[in-house]
Amino acid sequence: MSSKLLSSPLVSAQWLADNINNSEVVVLDASWFLPGSERDPVQEWHEKRIPGARFFDFDKKIAAPDTELPHMLPSAELFSREVSELGIKEQDTVVVYDSQGMFSAPRVWWMFRTMGHHDVAVLDGGFPAWQKAGLELEIGDPEHPVMTEYKASFCPNWVIDADELNARLGDVDTVVLDARSAERFYGTAPEPRPGVRSGHMPNAKSLPFSQLLSEGYFLDTEQLSKRFDALSEPEQNLIFSCGSGVTACILALAAELTGRKKLTVYDGSWAEWGRKHKYPVV
């Protein structure tokens, strides 16, 4: 189904300003900070946000329970329940942003795509871009949305688990792209999580997410295409990994912007692979 409003999974601050009063546009703040950060994303959202923005907590709330791994993709049932609580309808156009420009919002874009929601985009440049444009802010306690009955339709092609990925590492039609820094990929910098080995998967290629961005905005499509063309053929299956499944989604969104179609995120990412000794590390 083609989008009513979206021509791209990436929108500008001006596009959002022009469409924000449409009753079928829902804005989500998906800010998240690395463990150890002094910042509290929920508190910051409470204090100021894009008008009408609802907070999407993929770290604590809209995540699989009962797992030692951080913010794993929830079941379609849990996702449906929480998205209903946020007052989102299946026909809504969802626009996601984060307070760092381009960091955690693509994770939520990917979650919606994995749950069958096509009308979802990320705000290029995030909350800083909105503020830089001098657009209106909402401050103080946010309004509670009216509950809906959202029903997710899980799309398994968007996500892969460790065992399936391990079986596909030698597949010539598949390329694994790792969004972590080159130092972590090559094992010259330690992993931030305790008990996690350094290095990378056999046959994986390094594509640090920072190489796709400039000051919180995506590079233009031509530059993004060059980054992917250097590492893969357009028809190959791309599997994206990172530290814990967040910045891998920046790669997935960038690949979608270049027109690539066979895109999958390894949800457990290095937090899982590096910890479990049954998976090979180079």
Name the residues annotated as catalytic. 242
* Cα gap 109→122, rounded to integer Å: 7
- 90 with 115: CB under 8 angstroms? no
Q: Which pairing describes strands 217-218 and 213-214: parallel, antiparallel, or unpaired?
A: antiparallel
Pairing of strands 174-178, 54-55: unpaired
Distance CA 100, CA 123 (A): 11
Residue 95, H or E segment: strand 93-97
- Give the whole-angstrom CA distance, residue 181 versus residue 81: 35
Let me know: does 189 contact 264? Beta carbons within 8 Å: no
Sign of the C-alpha dihedral computed for residues 180, 186, 192 and 195 taken in this order: positive
